[in-house]
Amino acid sequence: MRLEIKGLTKRFGSFTANDQIDLVIEPGEIHCLLGENGAGKSTLMNMLYGLLTPTEGEILLDGAPTDFQGPGDALAAGIGMVHQHFMLVPVFTVAENVMLGHEKTRGAGILNREAARKQVRELSERYQLHVDPDALIEDIPVGVQQRVEIIKALAGNAKILILDEPTAVLTPQEIDELMGIMRELKAQGTSIIFITHKLREVKAVGDKITVIRRGKVVGTAPPTASEAELAEMMVGRSVELAVSKENKIGGDAVLRASNITVVDPRGHLVVKDVSFEVRGGEVLGIAGVQGNGQTELIKSLLGLVKPDAGKIELEGKDISRHGPRQSLAEGIGYVPEDRSHDGYVGSFSVRENLVLDLYRTKEFSAGPALKLDAITANAKHRIEEFDIRTETPETPVASLSGGNQQKVVIAREFSRPLKVLIASQPTRGVDVGSIEFIHKRIIRERDQGTAVLIVSTELDEIYALSDRIAVMYDGRIVATVSPDTPREQLGLLMAGATPEVSA
């Protein structure tokens, strides 16, 4: 099926989210849609999927204009979507999830599970998805859950599949598998719209690349284009993809963790006997797939959870029993992995969020009262220093773009003298331009002698920042390697291969 978008425009009030977008997706092609967060990719896809009604322009399927009133219409016309956040019922089986919403019955309301199982098996075989129809969703890994979403779309006879940032949650191996599946789908005639901001993936799998910036198509490129060219189109200026830095051997150990063990509230052992040290003036990167204990580990370093065993020392002083308030006061900077959950208060203004953990210092308060003038002055200063794009200091942080929200958190944590900086996923959901900025600031902090601990699931980020790399798998640090370790080997370590086998 050929999808043609002609002059598609979407306005919200005076704001134009999509401006005269033209796009053609030929049958059986993988069309990459590249753009920063907030460039208008989601708005465009929501119009394609019937969630939003275009202000102007048309969507043509095989030359016939469409008028989608909702996702149901889009599905019926053959457009399927796999959302970034899966829409699956965890306690149902794969087959049950696939038939959800259009259940087949044997009459008298009795479910025909067998038909759904058969459909899942057929699709799984045809596209080599390797999905067991009887597995419970909660028991299968994220990568397989994503394939269930793809099966759901295919079961609805989708001829065009929209994949919205599908690789964000996957391990490097799973990403490779997904790309194989995408090629298989393409070989059998399904078109794919692949939304991403990761240049490597675009080049690996795309047939055609369309770049969107500020709601407009700024150009198309073949997959042979260089990453630098693509990044420049995306951001509108040339971007340094790799932060220029010299690798350093750090000085004395500033933060030392010995035999840290954490049991989560459900009684699972999530951090198992982890020991490491971070030296002043170096970046230790902790690589690993999401959910291998990194979250709990860094929470225990700040004191958000108390380690059940082990010792944390800051410049030789035991801080294992400290709460976050003391740890922050001791000079630990903390950038949490989920900024909207732990990093800022969404309904608070930029001004207030910039002092979220500083309001109690002498600089910003006197007795029980806040020093509003000082807080306002601080906001003006930080907004300028960190190039936070906000209309006013009073704008709620929730309404900023992801990159600017993260800059608010970074600006706050960097605005006091630090001994240790702990940053988890510092650039998740952040646009390319802001990634460059944040990475530079982290390196600058390192160069001032701060001990920096970075936790990231993105290998690119680990390589860009780290002086040493520790790999975490199943609650343990399985290896500590130098940053010139090949990508493949690091990927294997992250997937649980023991160092002996991979070496």
Is the separation of the CB atoms in 170 and 178 below 8 Å? Answer: yes
In the window 283-302, what residues touch other proteins (CB under 8 A)?
Answer: 302
- Kindly tell me which of 13 and 109 has the beta carbon lying closer to other proteins: 13
Q: Which stretch binds other proteins (CB under 8 A): 99-107, 348-356, 435-443, 453-461?
A: 348-356
Distance CA 178, CA 182 (A): 6
Are 346 and 356 in contact, with CB atoms under 8 Å apart?
no
| Residue 377 lies near other proteins (rule: CB under 8 A) | no
- Does 356 bind other proteins (CB under 8 A)? Our answer is yes
Nearer to other proteins, 98 or 328 (CB): 328
Minimum CB distance to other proteins, residue 82 (Å): 21
Radius of gyration of the chain (CA): 24
**Which of 396/496 has CB closer to other proteins?**
396
Query: Residues 328-347 vs other proteins: string with x where CB under 8 A?
Result: xx----x-x----xxxxxxx
Cβ 29 vs Cβ 186: under 8 Å: yes
- 101 contacts: CB under 8 Å, gap ≥ 6: none
Q: How far is the CB of 337 from other proteins (least distance, A)?
A: 11
CB of 9 to other proteins, least distance (A): 13
Binding pattern for the stretch 400-429 against other proteins, x by CB under 8 A and - elsewhere: xx-xx-------------------------
Query: CB-based contacts of 438: which residues, under 8 Å, 6+ apart?
Result: 406, 407, 410, 426, 427, 430
Does the footprint of other proteins cover residue 11 (CB under 8 A)?
A: yes
For residues 44 and 24, what is the distance between their CA atoms, to the nearest angstrom?
13
Binding of residue 391 to other proteins (CB under 8 A): yes
Nearer to other proteins, 43 or 190 (CB): 43
Residue 217 contacts residue 210 (beta carbons within 8 Å): yes
CB of 127 to other proteins, least distance (A): 33
Question: Tokens 């290896």 — which residue?
Answer: 479
**What is the rounded distance in angstroms from the CA atom of residue 332 to the CA atom of residue 326?**
9
Say if CB 4 and CB 60 are below 8 A apart: yes
String of contacts with other proteins for each residue 27-66, x by CB under 8 A: ---------xxxxx-xx--------xx-------------
| DSSP designation for 136 | B
Least spacing, CB of residue 275 vs other proteins, in Å = 24
CA–CA dist 412, 382 (Å, integer): 8
| DSSP 8-state secondary structure symbol assigned to residue 112 | -
Question: Judged by CB, which is closer to other proteins: 71, or 223?
Answer: 71
Find the shortest distance in angstroms from Cβ 157 to other proteins: 24
* Nearer CB in complex with other proteins: 166/343: 343
First-residue to last-residue Cα distance in the chain: 47
The number of C-alpha atoms within 13 Å of 174 and in the hemisphere containing its C-beta is: 18
Pairing of strands 317-318, 309-314: antiparallel
Backbone phi and psi for residue 216, each to the nearest 5 degrees, phi listed first: -120, 150
Q: Does 267 bind other proteins (CB under 8 A)?
A: no
* 218 near other proteins, rule: CB under 8 A: no
Q: Least Å distance between CB 252 and other proteins?
A: 26
Q: How far is the CB of 335 from other proteins (least distance, A)?
A: 10
**What tokens were used for 198?**
């990761």
Cα-flanking dihedrals φ and ψ of residue 255, to 5°? -115, 125
Stretch that binds other proteins, among 163-171, 218-226, 362-370, 480-488 (CB under 8 A): 362-370
Q: How many CB atoms lie within 10 A of CB 499?
A: 14
# chain residues binding other proteins, by CB under 8 A: 61
Q: Does 325 bind other proteins (CB under 8 A)?
A: yes
The two three-digit tokens of residue 155, written as one number: 């079961």
Q: Which is nearer to other proteins, 128 or 347 (CB)?
A: 347
User: Of the ranges 163-171, 242-250, 354-362, 467-475, which one interacts with other proteins (CB under 8 A)?
Assistant: 354-362
* Calculated CA dihedral for residues 458, 341, 279, 467, nearest 10 degrees: 10
Instruction: Name the residue among 49, 474, 496 with its Cα closest to residue 294.
Output: 474
Binding mask 434-463 for other proteins (x = CB under 8 A): ------------------------------
Binding residues vs other proteins (CB under 8 A):
11-15, 17, 36-40, 42-43, 52-53, 69-70, 214-215, 302, 304, 323-329, 334, 336, 341-348, 352, 356-357, 359-360, 365, 368-370, 372, 389-392, 394, 396, 398-401, 403-404, 431
